[in-house]
Amino acid sequence: MSEKRTVLIADDDPGNIEILNDILEEEYDVLFAMEGPRALELVREQMPDLVILDVMMPGLSGYEVCRELKKDTKTAHIPVIFLTSLDNDQGEAYGLELGAIDYIGKPIRPPIVKVRVRNHMELKKSRDLLEVLSTIDSLTGVANRNKFHQKFDESLKLARRESLNLALLLLDLDHFKDINDTYGHAVGDEVLKAFAHCSSHACRETDMVARLGGDEFAILLVNPQDRDTAAKVAGKLLETLEKPIEIQGNRIQIGASIGIAMYPADGEDVDILTKKADAALYEAKASGRNRHI
């Protein structure tokens, strides 16, 4: 699979497409469209890293394509550069107000195109990295609270639409304060990392593990077959934790209490499912800890 970033060129002039392709193909994978509707379709299918749009195109103008891209949350983040022979401040301002980041004038000047595309690609790369970092718990590397709630909302909407099951597991480490008090917070941090690692390995790639804060974690299981399937995931994790882990010369036993709630059996919205899972977690702790309910 190519590691190059992707540029979509949308222009009804084959000569312009050929020139731009010659300029960009060494550094990027290049897609092209000759009509506005096809450009819109390709962006939604391929999700390129940057789009170069001719202002005047058949079907939909570049302005109209840009407007549609910026209205869609899935494509709004993709940078758009307009390509135009028009020397019109009002038109340029209009394009920038629609959400474009730059203009390239005709006739096309290869050094200018190359530098502008490269600069905007670097900016997008930085923004993409910041977006990823904003969704990750910096200590454990799993999803953070914000990312979890976003995934929970999206998965719940999908479950309603497709009549799927959804399982929410809330997890607390047992006696984590004792670990911090006995071994220090540096060891406690390593315990949290180890627990996040074990939790991730107990799940499928389609599921999500998140750290909600402190020693509180959550697992979202997307379309498990039934409650028994969710219970098996919880049981697999507890079984993994039976073996003590070595941290800074210390053999430390980790335990966890787990509460499970199922959509739609236990509720049909985020708040109810969270309350049900939290109640089950409390029951697991009250029943002796290191178990799932």
Residues acting as catalytic residues? 215
SS3 assignment, position 225:
coil
Q: Of 156, 293, 148, which is closest to residue 209 (Cα–Cα)?
A: 148
- First-to-last alpha carbon distance for the chain, in angstroms, is 44
SS3 assignment, position 78:
coil
Distance CA 189, CA 139 (A): 7
CA dihedral 88, 120, 41, 2 (to 10 degrees): 150
Where helices occur in 85-184 by DSSP H, the ranges are 89-98, 110-133, 145-162, 176-183
Distance CA 251, CA 1 (A): 43
